[in-house]
Amino acid sequence: MLDGGLLIAIYIFALAGFVGFEVITKVPPTLHTPLMSGANAISGITIIGALLIAGSGEGALTTALGVAAVILATINVVGGFLVTDRMLRMFRRGRERTPTP
């Protein structure tokens, strides 16, 4: 059966998922780019934590979950920077503006 610590962790994870969904759906489109920059910083911290977990040598499952977390957080950071850069290019003037591919 599940011990108390694991049950509390699952409860917190589920609650964070519901709260996160509600918060994100209430954000107006004009605030998405600034919030993406903040999310990139948080994902950078997630990458560091995932690297520590993946390299801890606690077991095969821990290492696999750590590697998956590194991959997903890296995809999130790279995608966030690409979207933010594209949005910021829309506000440049004249010759500085480069066409988007």
**Measured between alpha carbons, how far is 4 from 73 in angstroms, rounded to an integer?**
29
**How high is the pLDDT of residue 28?**
78
For the chain, the three-class secondary structure string (H helix, E strand, C coil) is: CCCHHHHHHHHHHHHHHHHHHHHHHCCCHHHHHHHHHHHHHHHHHHHHHHHHHHCCCCCHHHHHHHHHHHHHHHHHHHHHHHHHHHHHHCCCCHHHCCCCC
| pLDDT-based confidence at residue 94 (cuts at 50, 70, 90) | low
Residues 6+ apart with CB under 8 A from 58: none
Q: 96: which 2 tokens?
A: 């500085």
| pLDDT-based confidence at residue 48 (cuts at 50, 70, 90) | very high
User: What is the residue-averaged pLDDT of the chain?
Assistant: 82
| pLDDT-based confidence at residue 64 (cuts at 50, 70, 90) | very high
**Measured between alpha carbons, how far is 49 from 95 in angstroms, rounded to an integer?**
41
pLDDT above 70 covers a percentage of the chain that reads 88
Residues 6+ apart with CB under 8 A from 37: 80, 84
**How high is the pLDDT of residue 2?**
65
